[in-house]
A and B are shown apart, each in its own frame.
Chain A
Amino acid sequence: MDFLRPQTWPEALARKAERPAAVPIAGGTDVMVEVNFDRRRPEALLDLTRIPELTGWERDERAIRIGANVTYTRVIEELGAELPGLAMASRTVGSPQIRNRGTIAGNLGAASPAGDAHPILLALGASVEAESVRGTRLIPAVEFYVGVKRHSLAPDELIRAVHVPLSPGPQQFSKIGTRNAMVIAVCSFALALDVPARRVGTGIGSAAPTPRRAVAAEDYVSGALPWESRDPIPDGVGARFGELVAQTASPIDDVRGSAAYRRHALAVLARRNLAWAWKEYQCA
């Protein structure tokens, strides 16, 4: 196994173009587990940790561009106020050690249906900045996940950054696990209110082959909420929203939970997330 250590971003892109089979490694919290368990024996590792361009984040008026090597800990500490949903999701990841090393880009690269960053990225309409020697493109999160642990990066592409819209509205994220910390999601749910657009965004995790939006639920609830009056959510709307979210999922029975439980829990989480976000909106 070769260990490639590019020092600059152009060098990294060049290496990836030369050796598309080289596996990028950032925090290594997914890659090293796979290597240790002998599930993966890449011909080369492409270490991205020395590349200064990937370690920062920047803001314009519409979005925050988070460099690929920004860790969960930094998201929580530096971006908690502006990206509350992503910070909530980050707090649920692993343990302090994992949050100190693991990155959002790594979560995207692994593309696990259970990755905790995905639901809120979907709910917010984030996009992935992919780059190769051929150029740069922005891949909307909904198009990024294409199958179980599969994404839509080309073999020569690397993730440069994630663009997360600065959503003018409350955000929530919830994750079910069978212990109170350090657990892979049995299922998860994220919700974001886009107040100016009068839209509710959603993301479902760990309840389908890929993370996915609950579009029918979004359409329904966006139209059913009393945006102008800020009145309480009308009776039955939360429950119906939950039902529609649950219907969008296509969960399986596995060691972590039953399909029936996942559907049930998603309905509860969707209803609760909506109530919390709406309350925040009412008080704003």
Chain B
Amino acid sequence: MTKPLTSTSRAGGVGESPVRPDGPLKVKGEFAYSSDLWIDGMLWGATLRSPHPRARITGVDIGPALAIAGVRAVLTHADVPGDKFYGIDQRDQPVLAIDEVRYQGEPVALVAADHPEAARRALNSIEVHYEVLEPIFDAHKALFDPTSEHVHPGTNLVRHQPVRQGDPDDPAVRAQCAVVIARDYEVGIQDQAFLGPESGLAIPSEDGGIELYVATQWLHNDLAQIAPCLRLPQEKVRMTMAGVGGAFGGREDLSMQIHVAMLALHTGKPVKMVYHREESFFGHVHRHPAVMHYEHGASADGKLVFVKAQIALDGGGFASTTPAVVANAASLGVGPYEVPHVKIDAYGAYTNNPPCGAMRGFGAVQACFAYESQMDAVAEALGMSPWRLRQINAVSEGSTLPTGQVIDSPVPLSEMLDDLVAMPLPPSEEFDLRRMPGGVSNTTHGEGVRRGVGYGVGIKNICFSEGFDDYSTARVRLEMIGGEPAALVHTAAAEVGQGLVTLKAQIARTELGIERVTIAPADSRVGNAGSSSASRQSYMTGGAVKEACAAVRQRVIELAGAPADAQLVGGKVVTALGEVVAQLADVLGDTAIEETREYRHRPTERMNPLTGQGNSHVQFALCVHRAVVDVDVELGLVRVVELAAVQDVGKIMNLLSLEGQIHGGTAQGLGLAVMEEIQVANGKVLNPSFTDYLIPTILDMPPMRLKILENADPHAPYGLRGAGEPPTLSSTPAIVAAIRQATGLALKRVPIRPEHLTGTLAS
């Protein structure tokens, strides 16, 4: 069988940029992704999905499918062994549809067959009778029109989270404003667009349990949802991480996990399931589309007086992570600015649109597009430069957010903007078709091209918020192998491409003063690591590895009889003054020292349901972007010429990985600004493929100028600040601002299409 990756490497401690162990394999096409899993004698699983966004199921006939040669099982909701529902936050999602479907692509039945082709034929032979219903696809109506039908009994509201501070409606407050700007904004549905389709392998085991190899972001949360549906104790569901081909939030919810396990338990054979590309677009949640109304008031000297906002996020057919997405949009809804009077109402809706949940930026992205657009509009109305207006209102350490939370670590926004503005603008270049909007498609030789510059600022919470018991677990074992001290680091944390396997080894090297570190495959034989999301793994699993190493080190020091403040350096036990006390080889001998530690960040609180008040977040991370664009204003084509960013990461753990995160996050923000959208009509997806869901290519993503700051967060391990998400927030509004400057258009929706720039939208 294709084995999960164990990697042993030797070089590079914290702060260095060792080559990632999965890097060469991935570049050469040799890395085993979950879709490459294989075991002799396995069956192929497949999923029958609803073609309708909303329908009642009046009958399912599996007979014709079962009659097909090579078909081993056809299962419906009646075959779910245990709980019929699962869900990451609320258990509201049926494992297989029961009597009703709530989104296009909802799984209705499963097939296992000897060959994928037989499975496919069987799917086509299952007869499902639908009574098609009119889909509920307008989130605003679903929330606020009392005559709207309901997606789930009695409600279309997943969560309403208000934030109240001061009183923006007080006439005395309004009287302080020299300008008031009220505008509507819209964000389309963005997809994570990971390349590795949902896939996994389930192998039934002799004790009636199951071995499950899947690519996921959070093994233990999967486990907690899977086991009850299979009616198995958690110990009997043994999960191992398979190679993850990208995630970006899209693997936080379950996809095929329960299904493949059901098929394997039912047939008693190993079963593999791989979604095909189109299916993948229906197989995971997307970024919530948003409809937002914002009103900003500012005094003549540029101080924000009030912000009012209504943010409606469309979660689609099921809750997924909508409640937490709503909380982010609400708590971070004004951005990193000091605002005395705030009234925010963020809503998450059920509709029959595609289900939405976690995606990089998680609720903060949508709000950021709106509040940054508002900041530009306010600046323009006051005749002020956009970055100056932001500086005037910027938060700093000690500032209070509208939730009442005081920021108690460095957030040097004003200085970051100074740095950004001081960066040189791209020099003027000689004519080269590749650098024109449209590139070698040869649409302009300079005709209609205008340049624009724009700025964007974003604030993202790091780690899980609102009182969640957020922790990670690490087991570290130190022993002599082949005459050399070696550490084995074991966690359940998902390597989703961000470089966590590299980082864990760096931390072990630094903490244990050794070179050779092996990273064991992530699996459920070690404790919960939490999700690879919310930019939290360097902080949380990094923190857990650090603590487990410290515990191992403590024991070595005790064994060596060294003073308590001794350290491990270069394979030796060394006193604080640098005297060698012992060789690790002598201290360890044949024994292995193993320690497991759980690491928790400081506790947070739920937002008050009426006022939004509370210390709901752990850590705040900022990124600021400047975008330079060329727009062919006649054709509405855009080329982003340069993106510059300043980000404060507290501590650079691995510069190469970090730059990759900033580049990648920025590119994803670029995608949202100018091309990435799942287009939906009447609840149906129009472009479920990479032919028509466009993501930026290397010719769309320009070179970046980066400045990375290291103002340590005293509460975090090594002082680090989560870094993966913030760049995704601010690049979008920066690019949009630059396009606005080039075109003079208001542009209230992302992604911006050529039609928006040329006044040629379909009627």
Contacts and interface: CB of A to CB of B under 8 A. Distances in A.
Nearest to A91: B440
B675 A253 contact: no
B438 A180 contact: yes
B282 to A, nearest CB: 14
Interface string A240-284: 000000000000010111111101110011001000100000000
Contacts of A258: 755, 760-762
B675 A178 contact: yes
Contacts of A259: 762
A177 B758 CA distance: 14
Nearest to A184: B691
Contacts of A36: 276
A179 B635 contact: no
Interface string B667-711: 000000011000100000011010110101111100000000000
Given A179-B696, A182-B697, A256-B692, A264 B443 contact: no
Nearest to B436: A180
B450 interface: no
B675 A255 contact: no
A263 B696 CA distance: 25
Interface string A67-95: 00000000000000000000010011001
Contact of B443 (A174, A255, A261): A174
Contact of A261 (B689, B694, B755): B755
B442 interface: yes
B636 interface: yes
Contacts of A174: 438, 441-443
A221 to B, nearest CB: 18
Interface string B398-441: 00000000000000000000000000000000000000011111
Contact of A276 (B445, B694, B753): B445
Contact of B440 (A92, A260, A261): A92
A58 interface: no
A104 interface: no
Contacts of B438: 174-177, 180
A206 interface: no
A178 B445 contact: no
Contacts of B697: 95, 179-182
A88 to B, nearest CB: 6
Contacts of A272: 443-445, 447
Contacts of A177: 438, 441
Contacts of B763: 260
B278 A37 contact: yes
A182 B696 CA distance: 10
Given A178-B675, A179-B675, A92 B441 contact: yes
Nearest to B442: A174
Contacts of B721: none
A180 B447 contact: no
B441 A175 contact: yes
Contact of B639 (A92, A180, A184, A256): A180
A183 interface: yes
Contacts of B634: 268
B443 A176 contact: yes
Given A182-B697, A265-B754, A173 B442 contact: yes
A254 to B, nearest CB: 8
B637 interface: yes
A253 B696 contact: no
A132 interface: no
Contact of B442 (A92, A256, A263): A92
Contacts of B448: 268
A38 interface: yes
Interface in A152-176: 172-176
B734 to A, nearest CB: 18
Contacts of A181: 439-441, 697-700
Interface residues of B, number: 42
Contacts of B675: 178-179
Nearest to B438: A180
Contacts of A186: 754
Contact of B760 (A172, A175, A264): A264
Contacts of A91: 440
Interface residues of A, number: 36
A259 to B, nearest CB: 7
A253 B674 CA distance: 19
A263 B635 CA distance: 11
Nearest to A182: B697
A258 to B, nearest CB: 4
A1 B753 CA distance: 42
Interface string A173-203: 1111111111110100000000000000000
A172 to B, nearest CB: 7
Given A92-B442, A261-B755, A179 B761 contact: no
A175 B442 contact: yes
B754 A261 contact: yes
B442 A253 contact: no
A175 B694 contact: no
B597 interface: no
Contacts of B444: 272
A272 B433 CA distance: 14
Contacts of A257: 753-755
Given A178-B694, A179-B675, A264 B442 contact: no
A231 to B, nearest CB: 20
Contacts of B276: 36-37
B740 to A, nearest CB: 19
Contacts of A184: 691-692
Nearest to A254: B686
B439 A176 contact: no
Nearest to A269: B443
A186 B753 CA distance: 12
B626 interface: no
Given A92-B441, A255-B692, A261 B636 contact: yes
A265 B694 contact: no
A91 B440 CA distance: 7
A272 B700 CA distance: 23
B441 A176 contact: yes
A265 B760 CA distance: 10
Residue of B276, B689, B760 most packed against chain A (CB within 10 A): B760
Interface string B727-763: 0000000000000000000000000011100101111
A190 B606 CA distance: 61
A175 B639 CA distance: 15
Contacts of B760: 258, 260-261, 263-264
Given A178-B754, A179-B700, A260 B761 contact: yes
A179 B278 CA distance: 21
B120 interface: yes
Residue among B694, B700, B754 facing the most chain A CB atoms (10 A cut-off): B754
Contacts of A179: 674-675, 694, 696-697, 699-700
Contact of B758 (A182, A183, A261): A261
Residue among B440, B635, B675, B761 with the most chain A CB within 10 A? B635
A257 B689 CA distance: 16
Contacts of A172: 442
8 contacts: A175-B442, A178-B637, A181-B697, A257-B755, A258-B760, A261-B755, A261-B758, A269-B443
10 closest A-B pairs by beta carbon, nearest first, are A261-B760, A180-B439, A258-B762, A260-B760, A181-B699, A253-B762, A175-B441, A180-B699, A255-B687, A255-B686
Given A257-B753, A260-B760, 17 more contacts: A37-B276, A38-B120, A92-B441, A92-B442, A175-B438, A178-B754, A179-B674, A181-B440, A182-B697, A184-B692, A255-B686, A255-B692, A258-B755, A259-B762, A268-B634, A268-B635, A272-B445
Interface of A: 36-38, 88, 91-92, 95, 172-184, 186, 253, 255-261, 263-265, 268-269, 272, 276
Interface of B: 120, 276-278, 437-445, 447-448, 634-637, 639, 674-675, 679, 686-687, 689, 691-692, 694, 696-700, 753-755, 758, 760-763
